[in-house]
Amino acid sequence: MKKISKSKPTAILLIFSFIFLYSIYDLRAQGVSKGNLMGSIYDEGGTTPIEGAVVKLRNISTGEGYESSESDNSGFFKLKDIDEGLYIIGISTREGDFNVPNLVGIKANKTANVTFNLTLTREGQQGNTRAKQSGLAKFFLSPIGIAIIAGASAAIFYGIVKLTEKEAEVSPFKR
């Protein structure tokens, strides 16, 4: 027969697993909520609006994509009814395609407002936006940073399990 002290970590693990799985089910049961994205697109100097640009979004977890209509003469664009989540952004203009190095988060029943300043490369074929990530954000989004986060999470989980274990009594009368 097992002692209660040996099954305590197993019971704790089962309880946390149940809570985690139930919370995922509860989030899905609430349904997917929609949000909006709107903003303006300017040239490198940030003064001349870019007309005819198309903003493209791709959800990083589901891969679902969205595309705006062309921006108007003031550089304004709008995307409606976007599923909640994190998105990567690309912008297509007459001058070429531009990649945005930052992610944008869309929240339910909210409208995110962004402004892009496009920078052409020397060849004029493809560019990116002026927005820059900090060194720390780049590190944690790199494969090495993700591996460090995963390893630290595993170490913390292992430490919690080890701290909740009790040492078995040593007795000459036990079999």
Domain residues for the domain of 138 are 133-165
Instruction: Tell me: do 125 and 140 sit in the same domain.
Output: no
For the chain, give the mean pLDDT: 77
Instruction: Tell me: do 150 and 125 sit in the same domain.
Output: no
CB 97 within 8 A of CB 91: yes
CB 127 within 8 A of CB 91: no
The answer, yes or no, to whether residue 117 has pLDDT greater than 80, is yes
- Assign residue 42 the CATH number of its domain: 2.60.40.10
How many domains does the chain contain in total?
2
Residues sharing a CB contact under 8 Å with residue 107, sequence separation 6 or more, in sequence order? 35, 84
Instruction: Tell me: do 85 and 117 sit in the same domain.
Output: yes
Interval 125-144 mean pLDDT = 59
The answer, yes or no, to whether residue 160 has pLDDT greater than 60, is yes
Q: 126: pLDDT confidence band, cut at 50, 70 and 90?
A: very low
State the pLDDT at residue 8.
75
**Amino acid, single-letter form, for residue 61:** S
Instruction: Tell me: do 95 and 161 sit in the same domain.
Output: no
Residues sharing a CB contact under 8 Å with residue 156, sequence separation 6 or more, in sequence order? none
Instruction: Tell me: do 96 and 143 sit in the same domain.
Output: no
pLDDT tens-digit readout, 34-86: 899 999 999 888 888 999 999 999 998 888 999 999 999 999 999 999 998 88
Phi, psi at residue 23, to the nearest 5°? -65, -35
State the pLDDT at residue 162.
79
pLDDT tens-digit readout, 32-44: 578 999 999 998 8
State the pLDDT at residue 67.
92
